[in-house]
Amino acid sequence: MIYIVDNYDSFTYNLYQLIGTLTDEPITVIKNDEMNAEELAALNPTGLVFSPGPGRPEDAGEMISEIKYFLGKVPILGVCLGHQAIAEIYGADVIHAPVLMHGRPSEVSLTEKSSLFDNCPNEFEAARYHSLVVDPKSMPNNLKVTAETSDGEIMAVGDEEKLVYGVQFHPESIMTDPAVGKQIVENYLAKI
């Protein structure tokens, strides 16, 4: 079963619907403060998706401890706040964005090979809803930057060995190129 950890965000059910159209695997949504990592482990998840949400990663219930617990055990996809949490766990800093991006599309460019972006174009438009970003100056060597904007803001990260992926943008949004959003989620689901 795939579990989506809801960081109290309205986009969570858009993610749920997109994933549901692409897999027959059962999907369950849980709130980020509903259970701890050990309780979640007892449910034997086959994949974990950490949703967007308000605030900072460290204030999002059990999300940080859940990602740490499941690193390298099940495929993980973090979206927006979930992406920022992944970067923090690997040692990067999350800082205020130079420009707030709430409901605005941006051109995203792939920068490194990542299986999350297999069959995606090298450049695509993606929806952004965030006021925090991962600081590119703080990126650790064991987490690759796989996509960014033209001004160097990190839009995706990944650790292929541990099957951990994060995207700052919203693949589930209607403002993201729909073929790309669908392909990203399909690529993640192929790892389960």
E strands present in the chain? 2-6, 27-31, 47-50, 76-79, 94-110, 123-134, 144-148, 154-159, 164-167
Neighbours of 105 (CB within 10 A): 16
User: 172 catalytic, yes or no?
Assistant: yes
CA atoms within 13 A on the CB side of 137: 1
Q: Which two tokens stand for residue 95?
A: 């800082």
Task: Dihedral sign for Cα 100, 104, 106, 108, please.
Answer: positive
Q: Which of 88, 130, 148, 170 is catalytic?
A: 170
User: 120 catalytic, yes or no?
Assistant: no
Q: Which of 80, 130, 148, 153 is catalytic?
A: 80
Q: Which residues are CB-neighbours of 55 under 8 A, at least 6 positions away?
A: 81
Task: Say how far apart CA 58 and CA 142 lie, in whole Å.
Answer: 21
What is the greatest pairwise CA distance in the chain?
A: 43
Calculate the CA 53 to chain-centre distance.
11
Q: Which residues are catalytic?
A: 80, 170, 172
